[in-house]
Structure formats: C-alpha cells, structure tokens
Amino acid sequence: MHIKDSVFRGIKVGNLAQAEAAFFQCLNRGNQTADMHRPGEQKNNKLLRLGSTLTVKPLQEIKASMLRRIAHKIKVGGLAAVCMAGIGLCTTGCANTPGTPTAVTGSEISGSVMGGEQRITGSAIQLYAVGTSGYASGATPLLTRTVVTDSSGSFNLTGLYTCPSAATEVYLTAQGGNPGLADGTNNTAIAEIAALGPCGNLGPSTFIVINEVTTVAAVWALSPFMSSITNVGTSATNYSGLTAAFNSTANLASSANGASPGTTLPGIGKVPSTEINTLADILSACINSNGSTAPGTSCGTLMAAATPTGGSAPTDTVLAALDIAKHPGHNVAAVYAVLTATPSFTPILTSAPNDLTISINYSSTAFNAPTDLAVDSLGDLWVLTTNGNSSVSELSQSSGIVATYSQTGLAYGHMAIDGYNDLWLTNNIYSNVVVLNSTGSRLYLNPLTGGGLNGPGPIAFDSSGNAWVVNNNTTVSKLNSSGVALSPSTGYAAGGLSGPVAIALDGSGNAFIANSGNNTVTRLSNTGTAYAGTPYSGGGMNGPFAIALDSATNVWVLNRTGSSLSKMSATGALASGSPFAGGGLNLPVSMAVDGLGNVWVVNSGANTLSAFSNAGVALSGAPGYGSSVLQNPYGVAIDGEGSVWVMNLGSASTSTYTITQMIGVAAPVVTPMATAVANGQIGMRP
C-alpha cells in the first residue's frame, strides 16, 4: 500500500494515530538521505519540503500543524492535494519506491449534454486527463472508443477508460451535435466542458450534466492552465494549483445538475450565480443554433464580440468563453448583447456589467478590520485583522474558515509567511515581532525585539529566510529565521531612507524600500549597506505606498498620491513610459506581481482592481475590474491557481466583512512569497 493511502485511510476512518504514523513514515522516507539540523538544534530535525524549497524544522514543531493541515487537504482535495502535488509534504516519500502512480480502472459514468433546456444529440464525448508537461499542455484522451450522445442526449462510459491514478484530475467534453433542430444538423461550434476533479472520486452513481453553466465554471477557473478544450495542463511543480482550480470550478457550479452554485461552496461563500447564468445564456445562443458564424447570426455575433484585440476569432463556444475569461474587460457590452429574449438559465443580469470577471465573496465577522493577508504553501489564505484585539484566520476555498487565532490584548498591523508556513506579525505599538506557527502557537523567544525594531510595519523575507522589517523611525531591521537580530541596535539607516512604507527582497538578499518622505527607492545590500546612486528617484514617483519586484528584478512602485505605477531597473534606470496610469488606477493601496510579470493593483478610490502588463500597458481598461464585488479594498495576494485575493475593509454600517477571490484572472505564482524569493521564482509561475 502507498504510504499516502495509509494517511488517507487513517483520516477517513477517524484514526488520527494511524494517519500520524503514516505521515511521519512518509516524511522520514522522503528525507532518508538527509539529516540536517541547525547549530544547537536536536538531531531529530528533518528536511521538510515547502513548495520546492527544502527547509529544516523540528519535527515536534510541525507535527500538530501539518497533521491538521494534511487532514484538511485530504478532505477537500483528494490525493492530488497532498502527495502528488508535493505542496509542502515530503514529495519524494509519499509513494512506494520508485513512486510510480497506480492506474485506476474507471467507474461507471453516465450523463447528458444540454444546450440550455435542449438535449444535444450526436455530440462527441471525451474524457481527458489533464496534461502535466507544462501550462496548457495537451490533455490525454482516456476513452477507448468513440462515444456520442443518443437520441435523448445521454451517454454512458462504463468500462471505457482507465485513469493514470486516482489523483488524476479529469474533465469531460462534448463537441458538435444537434441541439433539437432538423435531422442531420451538426453545430460544429458546440463545445462544452465539465470539470470532474480527481478520477478516484468518480463512482458508479456518478451522473454528469455537461452544459453552458458547467462550461463557464470550468473555463473561468481553469483559464490560467488552458488554451483550448484539449489543452488543459500544468507544470510538474504546480499540480496543486491546478487541483485548486478544479476545486474552484466545483464551488462555482455543480456537474451533477449543471447549476450554480456548486455543492462544495463553503457556507460563508457567495457565488455570482446570476452572472454565471448570464454568461451561460450567452453561450447558449450559439449552441442552440445551426452553428453558422455568418455576420448577424448568434454564433457570428458571439465570436466577433469575444475576439480579443489583435487576436483571432474563436471557432467554438469553449474558445469564445476562454477569450472572454482571459480578457474580461473587453467588449463587455457586445458580449452581453448576444443574450436572447428567452434565456434558459435564470435569473440573469438586467444590464451589461462593468466587467466579466467572476468572483466569490467570503463573508465573516472574522474578517472585521483586516490589515494584511498572505497565501501559504498549501494555497490557503491567512488574514490578519485588528479590531481592538488582533486575530489571524486561515481561509480555505473548500471549507471556509479553518481556524481563527485570537491575539488578546495585542494589535498587529502587518504579516508575512515564511518558508515554514509560520506567520510573522509586527506590532507597531510595542515595537516587536511575534512568530506563530500554523496552529497559532508562538515560536522562538517571542516576542522578538532588538535589531533596531521601532514601530515596525511591513515585513518580508530574503533568500536566506531572514526577515526584513520597515520601521517608522526611518530605519530597517533584519532578523534571522530564528528571530536573532542581525541589524545593529539602531537598525539600518543608510541609503536615504525617508518615511519608508514598503519593502521587497530579491534573490540575492538585496532590499528595496519605498520612501514616502522623499518619493524615492532605497536599495540596500544584504548587510544593510547602501548601493551607489541610491536612493533612486524620478519615474513619476509620487506618494509611494507599495513596492514589488518582477522576474527580471525590475522594481515596481505604487504611487498612491499620483494614482500611477513607476518602474525602474534594480540599478535605478527608469523604464520608458514610467509612470503608467489608466486601467482604473484610483488611489491605489496595494499590489502584487503574477507569474507572467503582470501587476495587479487594488484601488481604494474606486473599489476596483487594475491590471497592467509587464510593459506597463493597462489590461483592465478604464473602469478596472470588480466594482460589483469589492468594497473598500485594501490588500491583495495571488495564489498558485491564478486567483487574485482581495481583502475589503467593508462597511461598518452594513457589517459587511468580506474577502474576495477573483477566479483565475492572473498567472499562478509560487507561495508563500518567501519561497518564491528563496527559489529565485519571483514573478514566475511554479
């Protein structure tokens, strides 16, 4: 038996002792060739893999935390969420040597293909296993013979497929067919998809509805991993991100009944089903036709409206949906106009929206007065709030709030997650830093002081796991991964620091600090020495409020006062066209760089999200994205599935405290940021 199956079996039957023993067998096997420890630590430390970084952690410290989290991931994500994906757990030890996955004979699957309320006959059915050789890599067809829907639009796949493993993510497609028109009609523009999840979750009672609603849910969630109906895949190092995207699909819609929302949606989540219905009806206008793309026809109008600027017109409804999902601010009115007078899915939007992004809002009093957020290596979001007392909450897209840890009598303003998934919180009032593990327990000699900590604010990690902290007395402090001060008692004060407000680290340990006091950027070496020419100025910097780096170590500065973005090289050379404006920028307060170098910005002045290419071209258009779901947005983070997470300050008068997940709009990133820095993967896809 695979060790991973022992972990699953133990948790499935409620035997946590069995699960624990199997997990640590897995951990030890994965590290049987390494027994590393820090000076002064016990020899029972083992290597723990977080993302693709090997780090050292005392086993007793990770024990309770990781067992709880592995149980959570197993419950919501199946095998792929833990062992196959290698997201934080002994990737080399989760299967029997040499670790070859075991093929799984397929269970019975039956279902129907629908075009709105019309059954589609003669539609070609295929079951695909996602690709694993790269993003949008070719998916593998699994059916051993041709299957088409019968006269009632039904199909049955009994005995017709074998999955590579129980953890393999699979999806069903339907292409072509007759949507109830004259005999002999074959609408070749019909393309629909239903994301099913891990193959091992399919059983004899599995019934699937493939329709426009399942198509919208799948395409929007899988768009970062998709280029066509036959090209859905990910890299070998981000199977976890693709698994999370499948989970998002299940939240948006159910493949069991073809309706939105899905049955897996946490109780605190709210899906925009009205928008999903509207998009489904837009696709239905083409699907329930003869497929002609001549001007003025339903398919012709849809394909023209969905065609991106400078791109080719899509040729089927999945490609049209994919173009809309990837360019959600393009031709919105024209796309909306494809709607017919008799929609099949209701209720629908009564007018064209600002954009066609799809977002899930998670609402809870646990998110009252949020001050910071970050994504861990398992893809869960951590939210720091300070409403009198501080608390940190772990949010999973599959189960809602996993846990909330109150910090009674304390007020923390900023948070970052290190390569061990520990939370570092800064206390501006008491000038210290507290480190919590993922079960909310304090680590090291907390609270941490020294190194010149004085009114600490934003915090980030360098490639060695050292924490760098911006102080409100115009200095920067540096602590090692165990909390020992590395900076002098007065902190680092070189390089023209003046009202520092944000910090970012590159892979060489250099720190870049945005200065609001003199509209500059300071660059310090890993010893706190200022580089020649620093501070860097110009490029339209006007009220810097946030800073980030891309894969080329270009420095991006968010200008709150100027409502713009400035860009420069690591040596201060200004980018052509800097500063960049437009795209809905309006009193921006936070930003993040995705895995393709695109910059995502939260606008407090317009309740929107802006997106810019790495060249500074606005992708979001003049209105920005998300005006219908964001409310006083303040912080942003990107995860491994390409979703953009936004924390909202909300409204005290309506007691609305929400975290927004904008589904699949960005390129996936390595999480947490500390791991991206350590691996040299800043602004890159995993």
Q: 370 lies in a domain?
A: no
- Residue 684 located in a structural domain: no
Domain presence at residue 311: yes
Write out the residue range of the structural domain in which residue 284 sits. 274-336
For residue 588, the cross-strand partners are: 603
Q: Which residues fall within 8 angstroms of residue 298, CB to CB, at 6 or more apart? A: 285, 286, 288, 289, 338, 340
- Is residue 524 within 8 Å of residue 491, measured between CB atoms? no
The tokens for 187 are 């609408």
Measured distance CA(332)–CA(355) in Å, rounded: 6
**What does the alpha-carbon distance between residue 136 and residue 395 come to, in Å, rounded to a whole number?**
28
- pLDDT of res. 203: 86
Q: Which residues contact 40 (CB under 8 A, 6 or more apart)?
A: none
Over residues 216-238, the pLDDT tens digits come to 999 999 999 999 999 999 999 99
Q: What is the pLDDT of residue 46?
A: 30
CA–CA distance, 216 with 285 (Å, rounded to integer): 14
Contact 609, 618 (CB under 8 A): no
DSSP annotation of 657: -
CA atoms in the 13 A half-sphere facing the CB of 551: 15
**pTM for the whole structure:** 0.89
Note the pLDDT of residue 204. 82
HEC secondary structure over 565-631: EEEECCCCCECCCCCECCCCCCCEEEEEECCCCCEEEEECCCCEEEEECCCCCECCCCCCECCCCCC
Of 549, 546, 524, give the one whose Cα is nearest residue 534.
524
CA 206 – CA 198 distance, rounded (Å): 13
What is the pLDDT, as a whole number, of residue 100? 63
Classify residue 352: in a domain, yes or no. Answer: no
Largest distance between two CA atoms of the chain: 84
For 645, the token pair is: 């997470």
Q: Give Cα separations from 186 to 181, 217, 339, 607 (angstroms).
A: 9, 25, 22, 45
What share of residues in the chain are helix, strand, coil (percent, to 5)? Answer: 20, 30, 50
Rounded to whole angstroms, the Cα distance separating 331 from 336 reads 9
Q: Are 127 and 170 a contacting pair, CB within 8 Å? A: yes
User: Tokens for 456?
Assistant: 């600490």
User: Per DSSP, which regions of 320-410 are E strands?
Assistant: 359-363, 370-375, 381-387, 389-396, 400-407
Alpha helix ranges (H) inside 270-316: 273-287, 298-306
User: How are beta strands 191-198 and 169-175 bridged, if at all?
Assistant: antiparallel
Specify the pLDDT at position 653. 58
Q: Give the C-alpha distances (Å, rounded to integers) separating 47 from 28, 59, 204, 437, 489.
A: 9, 9, 41, 17, 33
pLDDT at residue 250, as a whole number: 98
Structure tokens at 218: 């799948």
Distance of CA 614 to the CA centre of its chain: 19
Q: At what angle do helices 239-252 and 59-77 cross, to 10 degrees?
A: 50
| 203 falls within a domain | no
| 536 inside domain | no
Report the pLDDT value the prediction gives residue 43, as an integer from 0 to 100.
30
- d(C-alpha 574, C-alpha 569), whole Å: 6
Torsion of CA 588, 592, 595, 597, to 10 degrees: 50
Q: How many domains does the chain have?
A: 2
Q: How far apart are the first and last CA of the chain?
A: 30
Tokens for 407? Answer: 């910090």
Distance separating alpha carbons of residues 221 and 218, to the nearest angstrom: 5
Consecutive H or E run containing 222: helix 212-222
HSE, CB side, 13 Å, CA atoms: give it for residue 304: 14
Q: Are strands 162-163 and 104-105 parallel, antiparallel or unpaired?
A: antiparallel
CA angle 323, 329, 333 (to 5 degrees): 95
Owner of token pair 């035997």: 15
DSSP summary character for residue 546: E
Question: CA separation (Å) from 535 to 506, 549, 568, 623?
Answer: 17, 16, 12, 34
Domain boundary among 336, 366, 381: 336
What pLDDT score does 654 carry? 62
Cα 103 off chain centre by: 29
Q: What are phi and psi of 256, to 5 degrees?
A: -75, -30
558 closest CA partner among 596, 602, 614, 594: 602
Q: What's the alpha-carbon Rg for the chain, to the nearest Å?
A: 25
Q: Distance between CA 453 and CA 456 in Å, rounded? A: 6
Query: Which residue, 336, 363, 389, sits at the end of a domain?
Result: 336
Digit-coded pLDDT (tens) for 608-657: 999 999 999 999 989 999 999 999 999 999 999 999 999 999 865 566 68
Question: Structure tokens of 299?
Answer: 């398919």
Structure tokens at 380: 């869960």
Q: What is the pLDDT of residue 232?
A: 98
DSSP bridge pairs for 416: 424
DSSP run (H or E) holding 520 = strand 520-524
Residue 23 counted as domain residue: yes
Q: For the chain of 686 residues, list the mean pLDDT of each consecutive stretch of 10.
A: 40 43 45 34 32 39 48 43 40 38 88 97 98 98 97 95 96 98 96 97 92 98 98 97 98 98 96 98 98 97 97 97 98 97 97 97 93 97 92 95 92 96 96 94 86 98 98 96 96 97 98 98 98 97 98 98 98 98 97 98 96 98 92 96 95 75 98 98 98
The burial of 256, by beta-carbon neighbours within 10 Å (0-12 exposed, 13-18 middle, 19 or more buried), is given as middle
Residue 86 lies in a domain: no
Q: Which of 65, 81, 97 is the last residue of a domain?
A: 81
Residues 6+ apart with CB under 8 A from 369: 385, 386, 387, 649, 657
